[in-house]
C-alpha cells in the first residue's frame, strides 16, 4: 500500500487497496481526458472523449459511494500501472506530428486505459461478490459495463475511419540536410 500504511493482511484489505487504486486511476484519467479531447482532430473521436470524461466523473461518484458504504473516506493510492500507461500515451502523442495519425495513436492509448479499467473493475466485481458486498458489486458492474461500451465505441471509430485514414498518410520525404543530420546522428557525429 505504501511506506507508512499497514500491510495487506486480509481480503478486505486487498479489496480496499484495489478500490483506492481505481479511485486514483479514475482521477488521473479525469485529468488526462481534456488533453485528449483537445488533441483529437476527428469530430466523432473528440465527442467520444468528451462523453467519456462525463462518464468518468460518474464512475468517480460511484467509487465514492462505495467508500461511503464501507464507511471510509474516499482516497487513492498511487497506481504505477495507470501512471505508466498515461505517461506512455503522452509520450507517443507528443511524437506524432500528423493529426490524422495522432487520432489513431489516441485511440490506441485510450483503449490501453480502457483495458486496464476493464480488468480492475472485473476484479472489484468478483471480490465484492466474494466478500458479500452485492451492492458494491452492482456499482462496480455499472462502471465495468461503461468501460466495455467505451472500448467498443473506440474500436468502431478506429475500424470505420481513423485507422484507414491514418494508413493512407505518407511521410514527407526528408530534405538532403535532414538526411545528412539523421545519418550523422546515427553514427554519433555532431552536425552543425
Note the pLDDT of residue 4: 42
Question: Does 6 reside within a domain?
Answer: no
Question: Does 192 reside within a domain?
Answer: no
Query: For residues 111 and 155, is the Cβ–Cβ distance under 8 A?
Result: yes
The closest alpha carbon to 75, from 86, 66, 88, belongs to 66
Question: Does 1 reside within a domain?
Answer: no
Domain of 35, in residue numbers: 11-187
Q: Compute the mean pLDDT over every residue in the chain, rounded to the nearest whole number.
A: 89
Instruction: CATH number of the domain at 120, please.
Output: 1.20.1260.10
CA distance 182 to 180: 5
Residue ranges, the chain, pLDDT below 50: 1-4, 189, 191-192
pTM of the predicted structure, to 2 decimals:
0.83
Note the pLDDT of residue 175: 67
CA distance 47 to 126: 32
pLDDT tens digits, one per residue of 58-95: 999 999 999 999 999 999 999 999 999 999 988 888 88
DSSP structural state of residue 42 = S
Surface-to-core class of residue 76, CB atoms within 10 Å of its CB (0-12 exposed, 13-18 middle, 19+ buried):
middle
Q: What are phi and psi of 133, to 5 degrees?
A: -100, 70
Question: Does 169 reside within a domain?
Answer: yes
Question: Does 2 reside within a domain?
Answer: no
Note the pLDDT of residue 144: 98
The closest alpha carbon to 145, from 108, 182, 177, 117, belongs to 117
148 C-beta neighbours (distance < 10 Å), count: 16
Q: What are phi and psi of 2, to 5 degrees?
A: 170, 175
Query: For residues 7 and 1, is the Cβ–Cβ distance under 8 A?
Result: yes
Number of domains observed in the structure of the chain: 1
Note the pLDDT of residue 1: 46
Question: Does 167 reside within a domain?
Answer: yes
Amino acid at each position: 500500500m505504501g511506506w507508512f500504511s499497514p500491510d495487506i493482511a486480509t481480503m478486505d484489505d486487498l479489496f480496499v487497496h484495489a478500490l483506492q487504486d481505481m479511485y486514483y486511476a479514475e482521477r488521473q484519467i479525469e485529468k488526462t481526458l481534456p488533453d485528449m479531447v483537445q488533441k483529437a482532430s476527428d469530430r466523432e473521436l473528440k465527442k467520444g472523449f468528451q462523453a467519456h470524461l462525463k462518464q468518468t466523473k460518474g464512475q468517480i461518484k460511484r467509487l465514492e459511494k462505495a467508500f461511503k458504504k464501507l464507511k471510509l473516506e474516499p482516497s487513492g493510492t498511487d497506481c504505477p500501472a495507470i501512471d505508466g500507461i498515461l505517461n506512455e500515451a503522452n509520450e507517443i502523442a507528443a511524437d506524432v506530428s500528423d493529426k490524422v495519425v495522432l487520432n489513431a495513436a489516441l485511440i490506441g492509448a485510450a483503449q490501453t486505459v480502457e483495458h486496464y479499467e476493464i480488468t480492475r473493475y472485473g476484479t472489484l466485481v468478483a471480490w465484492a461478490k466474494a466478500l458479500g458486498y452485492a451492492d458494491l458489486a452492482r456499482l462496480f458492474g455499472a462502471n465495468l459495463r461503461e468501460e466495455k461500451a467505451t472500448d467498443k465505441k473506440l474500436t468502431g471509430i478506429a475500424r470505420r475511419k481513423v485507422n484507414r485514414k491514418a494508413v493512407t498518410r505518407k511521410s514527407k520525404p526528408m530534405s538532403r540536410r535532414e538526411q545528412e543530420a539523421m545519418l550523422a546522428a546515427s553514427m554519433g557525429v555532431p552536425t552543425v
